[in-house]
Structure 1
């Protein structure tokens, strides 16, 4: 049974998914807020283009690589993005990022997942947002973090995976940030490395 994470909570991936865990998928899903029309007419929904990112850092907090909608895989091929979903329409994960933990270079200490609203709306216009970590070997959900951080921010630092010897620890972060791309959020990520 998957764990429902709260902001700041940490879990051991080997404890929750078993020591043979070698690859994971971070799924991100959201819905646009439905617009209210005049007297019930003219409503609808405005598309929201959230962009999921995976940022790879070394032990010193230096950015080694970034996987996002403009670079769909890491230079070594161990991290892959499913591609840009520009609407949030439909059920299930809108974007996914796959990580081969067994092949991730040894100098990668932390992987930070973030999301930016490229179309510029703030998170008051996004609902039902979540991220979830899945065991890629059997598609079992390990953990889910429902993102209730609505507000005037246009980006969120979601969660991190941190290497701890042969194990990985996932931390639910949920810190608001601003900007259309991950580069704008790097200063806000520093405290979570």
Structure 2
């Protein structure tokens, strides 16, 4: 059963999955903006380019590597981005980041997942936006975070995966921000490390 995450909530991913998680997928989904035509007739859709990113940090809070649309794989190969979706068209996850937790180097203490509106629309304009964690072994959703806190922000620090007593835990951050890429969020990310 999936946990619907609330801002600030912490969960044990192993407990929610019913056993040790070894591989997860962070899925990001959204729909293009539908606009009505002149006098309410006809409609068209406006593309939205949201971007999922995963940032890797060591024990000292130093950024070690980044996985995003400009670098689809971590240098160590433990994290892979499946590719950039620039429209939000289609059903299901529009972007995915696959993480093999068994291959994440021991010096990596935490992974931060972010979402940015590269095309600049704020999240109040984006329809059906969500972020979720899926157990890659059985494709069961472990946790979901809806982008339901709508507002004039263009980015969000979604969640942090971190090692604690030999297991991976998740902290739903859900902090709004602004910027077209994760780099714009770095000053806001630092306090969460």
Q: TM-score per shorter chain, which class?
A: over 0.9
User: 1:135 is matched with which residue?
Assistant: 135
Q: In the aligned structure 2, how far is the partner of 1:9 from the partner of 1:73?
A: 28
Please identify, of 30-39 and 167-176, the stretch whose mean Cα deviation from structure 2 is larger: 30-39
| Counterpart mapping for 1:164-175 below 5 A | 164-175=164-175
Query: Which range moves more in the overlay, 175-184 or 63-72?
Result: 175-184
Aligned to 1:112: 112
Q: Which residue of 1 aligns with 2:176?
A: 176
Q: What is the distance in 2 between the residues matched to 1:165 and 1:9?
A: 18
Query: C-alpha root-mean-square deviation of aligned residues, in Å?
Result: 1.2
1:155 alignment partner in structure 2: 155
Equivalent residue number for residue 41 of structure 2: 41
- TM-score (normalised: structure 1): 0.96
Runs of 4+ in 1 over 3 A off after TM superposition: none
Which secondary structure state, in structure 1, belongs to the residue aligned with residue 40 of structure 2? coil
Instruction: Determine if contact 1:32/1:125 at 8 Å carries over to the other structure.
Output: no
Q: Which secondary structure does the structure 2 equivalent of 1:121 belong to?
A: coil
Q: 1:33, CA displacement in angstroms?
A: 2.6
Task: Tell me the distance in 2 between the aligned counterparts of 1:187 and 1:45.
Answer: 34
The Cα offsets for residues 26-83 of structure 1, whole Å up to 9 and x where unpaired, read as 0010112312333212532100000100001112211010000000000000000010
Distance in 1, matches of 2:154 and 2:14, equals 33
Shift of 1:113: 0.4
Deviation at 1:152, TM superposition (A): 1.5
Counterparts of 1:1-193 in structure 2 under 5 Å? Answer: 1-193=1-193
Q: Deviations over 1:97-139 (max 9, x none)?
A: 0111011001111101001111111112212111111111111
Distance between the aligned counterparts of 1:44 and 1:8, measured in 2? Answer: 37
**How many residue pairs align between the two structures?**
193
Q: How far has the Cα of 1:165 moved from its partner?
A: 2.4
Q: Unaligned regions of 5+ residues in structure 2, if any? A: none
Shift of 1:19: 3.6
Query: TM-score under structure 2 normalisation?
Result: 0.96
Structure 1's unaligned 5+ residue stretches are: none
State the distance in 2 between where 1:88 and 1:178 align. 20
